[in-house]
Amino acid sequence: MRPVPERPVDLGHDAEEPAREELLAVRDLRKHFSSRRRFLERRPDPVRAVDGVSFTLRRGETLGLVGESGCGKSTTARAILRLVEPTGGQIRYDGEDVTDMSASALRRFRRRAQMVFQDPEGSLNPRMRVGDALLEVLQVHRLHPGRSARRRRVGELLELVGLLPEHGRRYPHQLSGGQRQRVGIARALSVEPELLVLDEPVSALDVSVQAQILNLLHDLQQELQLTYLLISHDLAVVEQASHRVAVMYLGRIVEVAEAYQVYQAAKHPYTRALLSAIPRIETAGARGRKVLLVGDTPSPIRPPRGCPFHPRCTDSRKDGECGWRVPALEPQLDGGRVACLKVGGDSRSRT
Amino acid sequence: MLRPLGREVGAPTSAPRRPKRGGVLLAILLPGFPQFLGGRILVGGFALLLWASFVGIGSIRWERVVAAPGGGWDERAALLTLLCGLMAIWTWSIRDATLGSGVARTDGSWARFAREFGRNRVASIGLGAVGISYLAALLAPFLAPFDPAFQGDLVVGRLSAPSGAHLLGTDQFARDVFSRLLYGARVSLSIGFIAVAISMTIGTLVGAVAGFLGGWWDAAIMRFVDMVISFPRLVLLITVIALFEPSLFVLVVLLGLTQWPLPARIVRGEVLSLREREFMVAGRALGFRAPRLIFRHLIPNTLAPVTVAATLGIGDTIILEAGLSFLGLGIQPPTPSWGTMVADGRNHLLGAWWVTTFPGLAIVLVVLSFNLAGDGLRDALDPRLRR
Amino acid sequence: MTLLEVQDLRTWFAKEEGEVRAVDGVSFHVGEGEAVGLVGESGCGKTVTALSIAGLVPDPPGHIHGSSSIRLRGTELVGLPERRLRRFRGKEVAMVFQDPMSSLNPVRTVGSQISEVVRLHGRLGAREAKRRTVQLLREVEIPDPDTRYREYPHQLSGGMRQRVMIAMALSCEPSLLVADEPTTALDVTIQAQLLELLSGLRRERKMGLLLITHDLAVVAELCDRVVVMYAGKVVETGRVKDVFSQPAHPYTRGLLGSLPRIGSGRRRLAPIVGGVPDPAGWPSGCRFHPRCPHAWGRCSAELPSLRRRGGRAHGEEWTVRCWLEEEPLEPTPDVGKGP
């Protein structure tokens, strides 16, 4: 494996890092959920959970995918691992097309890309001791042949995520939330994957435990040269963990850039609104300077025409283009991409 | 080397082991079942099967042994073998359930369930009554003062009232009602148990497959289930039995084959909700194949409602069997069965109430016990389901 | 003047595992028109505290100790007969919960549910009650209140439902609003709207607010003072500005260090080790000692008392429950503090 240079504890925004190899490329990914047609009724409109998402993920980096509930971030994650069948678009993993993999190719792929789930309680079989759950994965994939070798490996995996081998004898309900999430991570790591899709890995946990898990993920990434796709609704969590950040709204990516660019100089009005909406410790006592969005997120069944954000946008041209033209994700001078007609692309003038 | 920060400190160390009386009791009644519940399907299932074959099929075969004249020592030897086998399974099951593997067991879902069940006094009594009737059935050759087919003096001993010699009196052929009741318990209980085992197995498989596959398969399978349910069971049974020679085997198989739609529906409902749980998605993400997902992950999690349905189902089956026997379509004389006994005595109801009353009472008590135990099981399992 | 005065509140639950001391000697107060944030992680007893104040602790298994005292404008609520308590609940104290869907009747329109409360407390006629309800809906900034009046809970979005709950709480013009994780289930943009609304309403109505949340940042935005709870006890109280900028208790410091923050870039956090203890058996001595980086001999043996921070000019209301505070030592390097 490629050696990873020793990094300082505060990773900052290491801009001079060498260009990384592309591991995952998603192009125009779509997932529409159509509800079943009922007798003598018109077929209902499909839910456009993911509606044309494109991004790339480079080896060894963390891409944070943020957005509010219903924006399609979790569906994107599941579609990438083919846990839901994409309606359209292309997913290339290390040069291979994931979308038309055969069952056996898919099984090989799942040794390379794994998932950690939000609900550490629900993602473990309640009737299985956690050690057995890890053992099962090793058996299925014929890793570390031999009973004692596998048992040893289960112990190692548990230690890797900061648990004791004794924890393997417990049932999920006998563990705390943080411990369960560690087991979930250990299980994902048991097949020695390169990519981990982290679907809200800490949102069900207490603040202090959340920080432990985030640090663990941080350390594991360096130790095992993992690539992360981190899905979260929490912008602070995403900033803390990500190299690059993609912001989703109503099934589309509206902005993707290096993390520091997003957090310090967000270009898309939605990203700006989102950032200003987050309550902050530092502003104790001094409220104000908020960009308050009006109204609720529209339904993904009938997304607004034109820019999906325009009805809530504070500086949209109500009369103009925003109402009918869908903005493309245009590259910016600083390397990010933004889907906004007002921001425009590289060649156009910016406001 | 990696030093993951934040090792869990203060994690509870192994709690002192406490003996769990309820767990032991259930391990005696259903050896292997705790292990089965604990997710060790193979080991637990094997023990259960072994135990079921000893108790169930063993007691069916026993009828033949008993039917043959001059049982005597053979009978006792056979019984001893049976008991030894049972003791072996029991010892293993109880030891495994109590000492098994320390930490995990002391607060396992099983132990919590047993505690919950033990607190329900009515249900515990029901379970105890069920256990006693099983034991009585098993030990019938020892407990019964007479051979169930033995006819006394037809002139003097006919329809004699309960007395010291005949605890529950005699019937119109001067046979001891108490002895027949004990042997009848073997028939009724083993029919109930085996028929329900058949129906639960089929029902669980069908329901799990339908729920797991979903879509078109689910619709097709469940419509078939609806069809089977909509057919009156008693009419179906009477028709089919009329086609065959009524025998224990036919009865058991038919009762089993007509009851599975109910557990199939229950299991399918459970599976539909379990399928959306993240551990199933995680299983797919980890590359598990469908059979593993169904047998290792889905079915063990549906066991709770299936157990409840099975317990209640045994009661239903016993009633149905008694009804069929009453109609003369079930167990054929001279084999004693509670249903036949009630039928036999109904002509003498006014003169000799005991011939009908005691087997009738036995049916009521056993079925009631099963229902109480079933309700208790449901209550004990429910909080965990709601969680 | 103090609006709410909680003294030595002990709410225990009789559970199978034994006595669960969910709230074990909690004291704090909320001034007239003041916003106080009650923060802590799950299982620290903050919700039980709220329920105790609202008189909604299920008894049995719960029980508020006789020595506890909850005074609202001088009236003792502990031990008050149910009938008089009911008058206080709603009239003086109103509650808003995390999940509005479970607090609303799904088969009745939101308007009829609010006007029912309005009529009950205000002794108003049907027409007057409706007018008042629409006005309340307008006050919580629900667009098109006349239409919304006739809608069912499921027709509203999560944010709108929470606004309905707030409207219902306001209907009797309470002097204290107890909000238990009011924005936890909502998206950030919606949360921002609601926080804005709450802070506006509080100012206009000069209403006291007790905000219960696990989110320190929400407290920072909305509250004047903060009460930090851990394991059924208050560990630190003070003005939000003071406590969040120079946390004194190691737990508060740890919480703040655990928090990922906007604008701090990609970095490791400084979490507290271990997990939240089980309420069925709190640790001995200072309940934080097993996780505390500064714990020393005395910490595991004796429980420190809640002391005013001595000798420092940080407002008179800054109290801390820590042995390091009792015997001022050289301050240890701030392990838990973010940059």
Encode pLDDT of C200-241 as tens digits. Answer: 888 888 899 999 999 898 998 889 899 999 998 999 998 888
What pLDDT is attached to residue A114? 93
pLDDT of the residue at C312: 57
| Cα B300 to the center of its chain, rounded Å | 18
> Cα–Cα distance between C135 and C145 in angstroms, integer?
8
Can you name the residues that pair with A98 across neighbouring β-strands? Answer: none
Q: What is the mean pLDDT of chain A?
A: 84
In the prediction, which pLDDT does A193 show?
94
Nearest to B9 among C268, C278, C290 (CB): C290
Better pLDDT: B387 or A242? A242
Do the chains contact at B9 and C271, CB–CB below 8 Å? no
Task: Count CB-CB contacts under 10 A for residue B239.
Answer: 10
**What percent of chain C has pLDDT above 90?**
9
| Residues 272-311 in C contacting A (C-alpha not used; CB under 8 Å) | 272-273, 275-276
The residue with greater pLDDT, C294 or A288, is C294
> Cα angle vertex C32, ends C28, C37, to 5°?
45
Residue owning tokens 């219903």: A70
Q: What number is the average pLDDT over the span C188-211?
A: 89
Question: Which residues in chain C are closer than 8 Å to B12, comparing Cβ atoms?
Answer: 278
pLDDT range class, residue B99, cuts 50, 70, 90:
low
Residue A207 is nearest to which of C189, C193, C255, comparing CB atoms?
C255
Q: Domains (ranges, CATH) in chain A?
A: 22-127+171-349 (3.40.50.300)
DSSP per-residue letters across A203-222:
TTS-HHHHHHHHHHHHHHHH
* Chain A partners (3+ C-beta pairs within 8 A): B, C
Instruction: Indicate the DSSP class of residue A322.
Output: G
Helix, strand or coil, per DSSP, at residue B224? helix
Question: In this predicted structure, what is the pLDDT of residue C119?
Answer: 84
The answer to whether B133 touches B72, Cβ cutoff 8 Å, is: no
**Strands laid side by side in the A337-338 sheet:** A113-116, A195-199, A227-232, A62-66, A244-249, A252-258, A337-338, A330-331
Residue B199 binned pLDDT confidence (cut-offs 50, 70, 90): very high
DSSP string computed for A127-160:
TS-HHHHHHHHHHHTT-S-SHHHHHHHHHHHHHH
ipTM confidence score: 0.84
Mean pLDDT confidence for C36-59 = 87
pLDDT digits (tens, 9 = 90+) for C152-174: 888 888 888 889 989 888 888 88
Neighbours of C316 (CB within 10 A): 10
Please state, in angstroms and rounded to a whole number, the distance separating the CA atoms of residues C72 and A288.
32
* Span of A9-23, A159-173, B150-164, B315-329 with lowest mean pLDDT: A9-23
C196 touches chain A (CB under 8 A): yes
Instruction: Give chain B's mean pLDDT.
Output: 75
pLDDT of amino acid C129: 87
B4, B38, B279: residue with CB nearest A125: B279
Greater confidence (B102 vs B114) lies with B114
Q: Cβ contacts (< 8 Å) between A241 and chain C: which residues?
A: 260, 266
Q: How far apart are CA B354 and CA B368, in angstroms?
A: 20
**CA pair distance B61, C262, nearest whole angstrom:** 76
Looking at the complex, report in whole angstroms how far the Cα of residue C287 sits from the nearest Cα belonging to chain A: 16
Q: What is the reported pTM?
A: 0.80
Instruction: Give the best residue of B281, B295, B299, B306 to mutate against chain A (max A CB count within 10 A).
Output: B281
Give pLDDT, residue B75. 56
**Distance (Å) from the C-alpha of residue B5 to the closest C-alpha of chain C?**
8
CB < 8 Å to A34, chain B: none
Q: How many CB atoms lie within 10 A of CB C146?
A: 11
Give the pLDDT confidence score for residue A157 in this predicted structure: 94
Write out pLDDT tens, residues A3-14. Answer: 444 444 444 444
Cross-sheet strand order for the sheet of A96-97 = A47-58, A22-33, A88-93, A96-97
DSSP A170: S
pLDDT of residue B68: 43
Q: Is A190 helix (H, G, I), strand (E, B) or coil?
A: coil
Q: How many CB atoms lie within 10 A of CB B306?
A: 20
Task: Please say whether the dihedral angle defined by the alpha carbons of residues B320, B326, B328 and B334, taken in this order, is positive or negative.
Answer: positive
Q: Which amino acid is at B352?
A: A
With an 8 Å Cβ cutoff, are C268 and B7 in contact? no
Long-range CB pairs of C312-318 (<8 Å, 24+ gap) are: C314/C238, C314/C239, C314/C242, C314/C246, C315/C238, C315/C239, C315/C242, C317/C225, C317/C237, C317/C238, C317/C239, C318/C237, C318/C238, C318/C239, C318/C242, C318/C243, C318/C248
A181 contacts in chain C (CB < 8 Å): none
Evaluate if residue A195 carries a pLDDT over 90: yes
Q: What is the pLDDT of residues B277-334, one digit of tens each?
A: 889 989 989 989 888 998 888 888 888 888 888 888 888 888 888 888 888 887 777 7
Give the per-residue pLDDT at A243: 92
The packing angle between helices A130-140 and A147-160, to 10°, is 120
Helix residue spans in C259-296 (DSSP H) = none
Q: B5 and C290 in contact by Cβ < 8 A?
A: no
Residue of B nearest to A118 (CA): B278
DSSP C169-205: HHTT--SEEEEESTTTTS-HHHHHHHHHHHHHHHHHH
Flag whether pLDDT at A15 surpasses 50. Answer: no
- Is residue B169 predicted with pLDDT exceeding 80? no
Tens-place pLDDT, residues C249-282: 999 999 988 888 887 888 888 888 888 888 888 8
- Non-local (6+) Cβ contacts of B333 within 8 A are B340, B344
